[in-house]
Structure 1
Amino acid sequence: MTSPEWAPEREVTPELAGRLIARRFPELRGAPVERLASGWDNTVFLVGGDWVFRFPRRQMAIPGVEREIAVLPVLAPRLPLPVPVPRFAGAPSDDFPWPFWGARRIPGRELADVRPADGDRVVLAAETGAFLRALHDPALAREAGEGLPFDPMGRADPAGRASRTYGRLDAIAAGGVWERDPAVEEFLAAAQGWDPPGGEPVIVHGDLHVRHLLLTADGHAAGVIDWGDVCLGAPAVDLSLAYAGFEGTAREAFLAEYGPVPGEQEAAARTLALNLTAALAEYAVSTGRDALLAETLAGLGRALS
């Protein structure tokens, strides 16, 4: 049986994480270590109640770990929401051959776990739009983008993303959690004929979806996490969240803060919204994450609304 693409190549346990951290950072020796979350590329631990450490799970995540360590300290002062700032950076060694890092915890819960009603997302959407306006400032890319690759995953390419989405939709339809939608099929068919949007590249988060936007207890944006795909690219790469995470008055609030989105950027963003939400839905089914599944299935509907 073929392993899912998110299966770890290395699984770090709390015990191993504690040993690795204690060996490299004596000031944290003896601090309690608890598993906080996991995703496709990293396993995350809370250390001493204050520090969040990210350990890669797959070899392909290593360049992203290195970019996070280098770029996040530069970006953080320029952005209106908290982002992780690496304070501890563990180099590869005999006991763990990959880099890892730790930053002060950003309190909050994933949007996918909170799942506020669409009508309660207006303020959150506006805060997210303002955040992306600052991140996508071309001046920031000119000042801090040196050395970043250009959209290495091809996420702003509608044709490529559309072709990758059919199999994901087939999987969740076969699992009985989603009924095929002719509007989605028609949109994806059209997207296979679209070119990537042009324009000056900006710094993009690269993987901005409902697991990577944190919320406060009262529904405001608390921060943006998981920057392993940070790169240069078209704004559409991040604007997918505007279409998968918000609709109606919430999306209007997002766009009021962010600014106008040209048609080719919107088309690429909606295509990526379908692709990412379908991938997350497939992942949610496989890993038994009911809240994430419900949020991503709703996101498939929002993406074309």
Structure 2
Amino acid sequence: MDTEAYTALIEQCFPHLTIRTARPISEGWDSFVLEINNKLIFRFPRRADVEEQLTREMRLLPPLARTLSTPIPHFDYIWHGNNSQPLPFVGYRKIDGVPLDNIRITSAHDSTLAASLATFLSELHSFPIAQAIQLGVPGHTQAQWRQRYQHLYQEVERLVLPQLNEPARNKVRRLWETFLDDEANFEFQPAFIHQDLGCEHILCDPTGGALAGIIDWGDATIGDPALDFVGLLHCRD
């Protein structure tokens, strides 16, 4: 499907919405994203597993928003799918702000962004685990978290290592095995995490550097809170 097809789908499912402009802003592996009328964002899942994630977001985001001081999407348009239009999708009012990977935060604004991110992460990781699981968020103990990485390493061995030369294969093996063999890497207090907190999902005020919003919650899970800091490291590159 292309922009015209997705726009037509919105018009069919929400005939009261007058569409004046439609602009694709993301065509990633998981979702196709349209900006409508310069003020609405519509997300369309590309795969069945992403449809499941989106359904979970529908349940999760309203109670989560009540615990966060940072804006997150509020789905004003929800299409669950039916026999004639089976694809579920959502729309929400665009959150003011620019993705962190699209702007350069000056050193003068570093402290402002750092403080607002610290507040957000503290609130996020304090969201009750029991409530998250009740809302359908996957849960992981430390042992399950380790098994997850062991499975990922098996996939790396099967799919990636055969494509590398011997020195590169040995380096990758050492990195993975060192990580998996270190008990300290799996000694953490499980928390509710975003799990995909990259620069593209962090919206900022380009003038003052303050955090404006966090988007794309489909990968949210219970796991190691340190993972939510990994993407921030790449934001400095």
Partner residue in 1 for 2:65 = 76
> Match for residue 38 of structure 1?
27
Q: Does the CA-based 8 Å contact 1:124-1:220 persist in structure 2?
A: yes
Assess if the C-alpha contact under 8 Å between 2:196 and 2:231 holds in 1: no
Distance verdict in 2 for CA 1:190–1:209, change over 3 Å? same
Q: Distance in 2 between matches of 1:112 and 1:137?
A: 27
Q: Does the CA-based 8 Å contact 2:45-2:51 persist in structure 1?
A: yes
In structure 2, what residue type is equivalent to 1:213?
I
- For residues 87-106 of structure 1, the C-alpha deviation after alignment (integer angstroms, 9 at most, x for no partner) is 11112234543211011111
| Contact 1:69 1:86 survives alignment (8 Å) | yes
Partners of 1:40 and 1:151 in 2: CA distance: 25
CA deviation after TM superposition for structure 1 residue 234, in Å: 2.3
Cα distance between partner residues in 1 of 2:11 and 2:223 = 38
Q: Distance in 2 between matches of 1:100 and 1:14?
A: 14
Structure 1: segments with no counterpart, 5+ residues? 1-11, 175-179, 247-297, 299-305
**Equivalent of residue 225 in structure 1, options 199, 215, 225:** 215
Q: Which residue of 2 aligns with 1:129?
A: 118
Match of 1:234 in 2: 224
> What is the aligned-residue identity percentage?
28
Distance in structure 1 (CA, Å) of the matches to 2:199 and 2:161: 18
Structure-1 separation of matches of 2:213 and 2:200: 11
Match for residue 91 of structure 1?
80
TM-score (norm 2): 0.79
Q: Which moved more, 1:159-168 or 1:217-226?
A: 159-168
Counterpart in 1 of 2:194? 205
User: Secondary structure of the residue that 2:213 maps to in structure 1?
Assistant: strand
The count of residues paired between Structure 1 and Structure 2 equals 227
- Partner of residue 49 from structure 2, selected from 60, 67, 90: 60
Q: Does the C-alpha gap of structure 1 residues 206 and 95 become closer, same or farther in structure 2, counting only changes over 3 Å? A: farther
* Bigger shift: residues 69-78 or 210-219: 210-219
Instruction: Give, as a single letter, the amino acid of the residue that structure 2 aligns with 1:23.
Output: Q
Distance, in Å, in 2 between the alignment partners of 1:233 and 1:243 is 19
Partner of 1:141: 129
User: How far apart, in 2, do the equivalents of 1:168 and 1:124 lie?
Assistant: 37
Higher deviation after alignment, 52-61 or 193-202: 193-202
Give RMSD over aligned pairs.
3.4
Higher Cα Rg, which structure = 2
1:158 and 1:194 in contact (8 A); partners too: no
Distance in 2 of aligned mates of 1:164 and 1:125: 36
Secondary structure, counterpart of 2:203 in structure 1: strand
Q: 1:162 to 1:239 in 2, by over 3 A?
A: farther
- The answer on 1:103 being equivalent to 2:92 is yes
- Aligned pairs for 1:1-12 (under 5 A) are 12=1
Query: 1:107-126: CA deviations, max 9, x gaps?
Result: 22221222436785332232
Over 3 Å counting, the alpha-carbon distance change for 1:212 and 1:188 in structure 2 is: same
Q: Which residue in 2 is equivalent to 1:29?
A: 18
Moved more, 205-214 or 191-200: 191-200
Greater relative CO (CA pairs within 8 A, separation 6+): 2
Contact 1:155-1:237 within 8 A present in 2 as well? no
Matching of residues 105-120 of structure 1 within 5 Å: 105-116=94-105
> How far is 1:76 from its partner?
0.9
State how far apart, in whole Å, the 1-side matches of 2:199 and 2:150 are.
23
Cα distance in 2 for partners of 1:125, 1:169 equals 38
Pair 1:194–1:79, CA change in 2 (3 A): same
Distance 1:56 1:73 in 2: 20
